[in-house]
Amino acid sequence: MKNEKDEIQFQLTEELWDGMQVLEGQPIASLVIWDSSLVDDNLDSPVADEERIYVDCELYLANQTLLELYGAAILYKEADEALAGLQSITATLEQLADTGAVLQEVAADQENSLVLTIANQSGESVLVAVTAWLETTWDALPEEAYT
């Protein structure tokens, strides 16, 4: 029997949501933000770093869970526009990581796409709307990780 955790997911089903709820409250041990995204493959022309909205990133959780997030957009609030610019996205996520970020909530949007809330100890938070994701485990943090 194939484990759903080893497959790329595009929609948060009730079964997947039940399994991911245990991740709520997990500290983020490290993160990696890539300068491109899998969603770039569907675009007619390359995206400049200053205009980038979607990034791929890896969240290394303290419980050894690795969430590989593809086509992730970062928003401060649900009604806000997504952050634009690789530098702005990276700075926002790194600032949260610097101040004790945790995976606060696992939720879904109207289309059942994954939405994560990442918050720090000061109460600052962002929403991470995800196009696709893969849940695996990690043994060691990669050298390029931000901790």
Task: List pLDDT tens digits, range 54-101.
Answer: 999 999 999 999 999 999 999 999 888 999 999 999 999 999 988 999
What percent of the chain clears pLDDT 70, i.e. is strictly above it? 94
Q: Is the pTM of this model over 0.95?
A: no
* Local confidence band at 39 (pLDDT 50, 70, 90 cut-offs): confident
3-state secondary structure the chain: CCCHHHCCECCCCHHHHHHHHHHCCEEEEEEEECCCCHHHHHCCCCCCHHHCCCEEEEEEECCCEEEEEEEEEEECCCCCCCCCCHHHHHHHHHHHHHCCCEEEEEEECCCCCEEEEEECCCCCEEEEECCEEEEEECCCCCCCCEC
Torsion of Cα atoms, 140 then 24 then 120 then 116, to 10°: 90
Whether residue 12 has pLDDT greater than 70: yes
More confident residue, 13 or 146: 13
Cβ proximity of 114 and 124 under 8 Å: no
Residue 147 to residue 143: CA distance in whole angstroms: 10
Is residue 14 left, alpha or beta, with left meaning phi > 0 and alpha meaning psi from -120 to 50?
A: alpha
* Local confidence band at 4 (pLDDT 50, 70, 90 cut-offs): low
Q: Which whole number is the average pLDDT over 126-144?
A: 91
Residue 60 to residue 23: CA distance in whole angstroms: 11
More confident residue, 112 or 4: 112
Whether residue 1 has pLDDT greater than 50: no
* Token pair in block for residue 125: 């938070």
Tell me what pLDDT residue 86 has: 95
Tell me what pLDDT residue 138 has: 94
Domain ranges in the chain are 4-132
Q: How far is CA 121 from CA 78, 102, 136, in A?
A: 20, 8, 26
Tell me what pLDDT residue 45 has: 81
